[in-house]
């Protein structure tokens, strides 16, 4: 679990601003649910035989002896909340969430025990158009962040539960004849969750898996049609993709469309975004059947990628516009008030006022460390004349003494020139 320290938080705030503006542009609405739920909710939705439920959940009994779990993902909670508050009754919903998730995994680069996701979820729409919309939304995000050429869309269809059951049998038969190649994990999954074997990254099994029967060949007609129409929309929108017949995703509730955006720039933790359709989930959790589709983006991985590709804009890194320092008793007494006047006049100004006194030299050193572009000096002369001395801390501008109004004008144009995203 990571601490987020002040040097790094501006980059996160930049990313969060980008994400919020993106979901706004598609008119998705935010939903916030608690970070704990009853354990049964996750077992029933994600599936008993998944890695997440089998070994990754933070589960504990509360003081009443009720079993609670820190959410390992947010879709189950969103469905629970939507059912509880009647959000799915004869209506469509376009929702998004952002926040921490918890999984007891082996920590490594791009994989943590507390991590963050932004997810979007669309309820009540059956057709492939909404699948395409959320993929277009994600593609726009990569463009917005300047990283479109570093991610690849992988696409598959899991068909209906019935088609998957037929396929499951074909797959088990195939694996039975290749038992000698199966590793221990896969051996175990053969009975509980054979589809997950396809997802194995074990190179010793790669050849055998490549030759395995394909779910694509077992699709029901409606799922096939859905998939074809989705591909046609993506083609028309100019979104490239790669069909990956082994893409099954780690959670049991998916049906029909599944997709991932992957990158090769992060080593083995290459999945930045994963999603798909989960038409059966609402009913599974006690509601009337409501079709649904969504995805989740792992923010730590996205951040790692942005940093690796050096895509965090310089101005997103923060720092004050100006640092006000004061020399002499009178000036020290008035510095905070001068600071307030400047903030009254300039709501966007980021200003630090020096506190704690000290020599001119030590105050200038702090001004420099603050990252501010400009030092504002308030001394005895300035107090007497109603002025401030402006000393550029970056670049090679000249020091000038200006009245307060002119200082305000000067600061305003400095702020405007600094195009904040
Ligand atoms: P993976 O195959 O990488 O374990 P997953 O199938 O478990 O991913 P999902 O549950 O679909 O992933 O979560 C969506 C995204 O959340 C992942 O693609 C990834 O970017 C991120 N994610 C999942 N688990 C972690 C983790 N432990 N630490 C950081 N990010 C994670
Ligand atoms: Mg996982």
pLDDT class of 242 with cuts at 50, 70, 90? very high
Q: How far is the CA of 298 from the centre of ligand 1 (A)?
A: 6
Q: How far is the CA of 397 from the centre of ligand 1 (A)?
A: 49
Mutate to test the pocket of ligand 1, among 267, 298, 303 (most ligand atoms within 8 A of CB): 298
The model carries a pTM of 0.92
Ligand 1 neighbour 139 (Cβ under 6 A)? no
pLDDT tens track for 103-153 = 999 999 999 999 999 999 999 999 999 999 999 999 999 999 999 999 999
The yes/no answer on whether domain 319-420 falls in CATH 1.10.3720.10 is: no
Ligand nearest to the CA of 117: 1
Q: Which residues contact 382 (CB under 8 A, 6 or more apart)?
A: 331, 388, 389, 401
Ligand 1 neighbour 99 (Cβ under 6 A)? no
Atom of ligand 1 nearest to the CA of 73: 10
Where do we find the tokens 């896969």? 186
Ligand 1 neighbour 199 (Cβ under 6 A)? no
Residue 270 in tokens: 């290459």
Two domains, one topology: 9-159+219-308 and 319-420: no
* pLDDT for residue 113: 98
Question: Count of CB atoms within 10 A of residue 346's CB?
Answer: 19
User: Residues 159-179: what's their mean pLDDT?
Assistant: 91
Domain edges within the chain: 9-159+219-308, 319-420
Fold of 9-159+219-308: BirA Bifunctional Protein; domain 2 (3.30.930)
Residue 420 has pLDDT above 60, yes or no: no
Q: What angle do CA 54, 191, 254 make, to 5 degrees?
A: 60
pLDDT tens track for 326-380 = 999 999 999 999 999 999 999 999 999 999 999 999 999 999 999 999 999 999 9
Query: What is the percent of the chain with per-residue pLDDT over 90, rounded to a whole number?
Result: 83
């Amino acid at each position: 679990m990571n601490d987020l320290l002040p040097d790094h938080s501006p980059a996160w705030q930049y990313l969060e601003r980008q994400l919020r503006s993106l979901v706004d542009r598609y008119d998705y609405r935010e939903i916030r649910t608690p970070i704990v739920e009853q354990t049964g909710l996750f077992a029933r939705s994600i599936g008993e035989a998944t890695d997440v439920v089998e070994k990754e959940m933070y589960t504990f009994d509360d003081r009443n002896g009720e079993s609670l779990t820190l959410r390992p993902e947010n879709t189950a909670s969103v469905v629970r909340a939507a059912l509880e508050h009647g959000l799915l009754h004869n209506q469509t919903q376009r929702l998004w969430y952002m926040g921490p998730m918890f999984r007891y995994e082996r920590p490594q680069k791009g994989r943590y025990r507390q991590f963050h996701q932004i997810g979007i979820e669309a309820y009540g729409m059956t057709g492939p158009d909404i699948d395409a919309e959320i993929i277009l939304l994600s593609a726009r995000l990569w463009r917005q962040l300047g990283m479109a050429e570093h991610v690849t869309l992988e696409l598959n269809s899991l068909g209906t539960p019935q088609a998957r059951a037929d396929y499951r049998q074909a797959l088990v038969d195939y694996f039975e004849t290749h038992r000698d190649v199966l590793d221990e994990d896969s051996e175990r999954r053969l009975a509980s969750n054979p589809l997950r074997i396809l997802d194995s990254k074990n190179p010793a099994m790669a050849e055998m898996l490549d030759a395995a029967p394909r779910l694509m060949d077992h699709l029901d007609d409606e799922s096939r049609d859905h998939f074809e129409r989705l591909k046609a929309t993506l083609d028309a929108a100019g979104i490239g993709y790669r069909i990956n017949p082994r893409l099954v995703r780690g959670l049991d509730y998916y049906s029909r469309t599944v997709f991932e955006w992957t990158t090769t720039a992060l080593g083995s933790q290459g999945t930045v975004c994963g999603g798909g359709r989960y038409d059966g989930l609402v009913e599974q959790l006690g509601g009337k059947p409501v079709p649904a589709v969504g995805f989740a983006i792992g923010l730590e991985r996205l951040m790692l990628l942005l940093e690796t590709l050096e895509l965090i804009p310089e101005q997103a890194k923060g720092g004050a516009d100006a640092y006000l320092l004061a020399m002499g008793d009178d000036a020290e007494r008035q510095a905070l008030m001068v600071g307030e006047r400047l903030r009254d006049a300039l709501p966007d100004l980021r200003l630090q006022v020096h506190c704690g006194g000290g020599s001119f030299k030590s105050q200038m050193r702090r001004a420099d460390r603050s990252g501010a572009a400009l030092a504002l000096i308030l001394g005895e002369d300035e107090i007497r004349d109603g002025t401030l001395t402006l000393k550029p801390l970056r670049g090679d501008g000249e020091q000038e003494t200006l009245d307060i109004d002119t200082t305000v004008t000067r600061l305003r144009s400095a702020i405007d020139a600094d195009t904040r995203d």
